[in-house]
Structure 1
């Protein structure tokens, strides 16, 4: 699985003009299931992200995790993270998991993350979503597990 994690002061996702997920301080997590991902990947990715020390401590150093600060997470599926741009100008997405597998792994990731304690809001798999965020820092981290 692949994720792009952004530390945010706020974020939301809108579908058909309606906000379906919204958080204050925490993480916006764009998630992509990749070809060959196994059932253990969602929990591994959730644990890595929950413990990722990218929030400021009292000394203003990135030394605290989402769990440490009690932040929330907005989890949004994004198959375009699998883009292959090695040839030509049109990205290919064949490295992404098929939609049925991708949805199952996305939901398993969101459940695993929620099981670790943070409030988890979600986008809608396969929907045309409008994502708004205020990136805090900015801090943006790319993860593969």
Structure 2
């Protein structure tokens, strides 16, 4: 599971011109789910995202998590994060999980993050053509791969 985590002052996702999910201060998380991912990856990654200290404290140091600031999360599924570009110029997505597996893990991630935050997570719609807008704060962007835990 690959997550691109961006600290934002605001973010939104639109589908067919309508806002589906929107947040103010918090994290925009783009999530790619691989064929080898499991519920264990969901739990590990959700805990990492919720506890990651990338928000400024009173001294301007990155010491606070999204939980600490009572921030929000906008979670967007993005299979293109699993693109392989080793051969040719057309990316291969063979390592991205098929919808019958990925949807379940995506829904588990929504529930897990919501439980850790104590409030609902805003989302896009799995497989939809989405327009994502954000105001990256910092900018701060972190990439985490659950297959590289060590």
TM-score (norm. length: structure 2): 0.94
Partner Cα separation in structure 2 for residue 107 and residue 119 of structure 1: 12
Which residue is 1:137 aligned to? 138
- Per-residue CA deviation, residues 112-136 of structure 1 (Å, 9 max, x unaligned), is 0000125410000000000000000
Stretches of 4+ aligned residues off by more than 3 angstroms: none
The yes-or-no answer on 1:86 pairing with 2:86 is yes
The yes-or-no answer on 1:36 pairing with 2:36 is yes
Partner Cα separation in structure 2 for residue 30 and residue 114 of structure 1: 16
On the 8 A contact 1:15/1:130 being kept in 2, the answer is yes
Which residue is 2:111 aligned to? 111
Structure 1: where are the runs of 5+ without partners? none
Corresponding residue pairs, total:
145
Partner Cα separation in structure 2 for residue 48 and residue 25 of structure 1: 18
Structure 2: where are the runs of 5+ without partners? none
- Structure 1 residue 99: Cα displacement: 1.2
Alignment of 1:1-145 (within 5 A): 1-117=1-117, 118-145=119-146
When the two chains are superposed, the root-mean-square deviation of aligned CA atoms in Å is: 0.8
Partner Cα separation in structure 2 for residue 100 and residue 3 of structure 1: 20
On the 8 A contact 1:77/1:123 being kept in 2, the answer is yes
Partner Cα separation in structure 1 for residue 137 and residue 115 of structure 2: 25
Please identify, of 19-28 and 99-108, the stretch whose mean Cα deviation from structure 2 is larger: 99-108
Partner SS, residue 66 of structure 1: coil
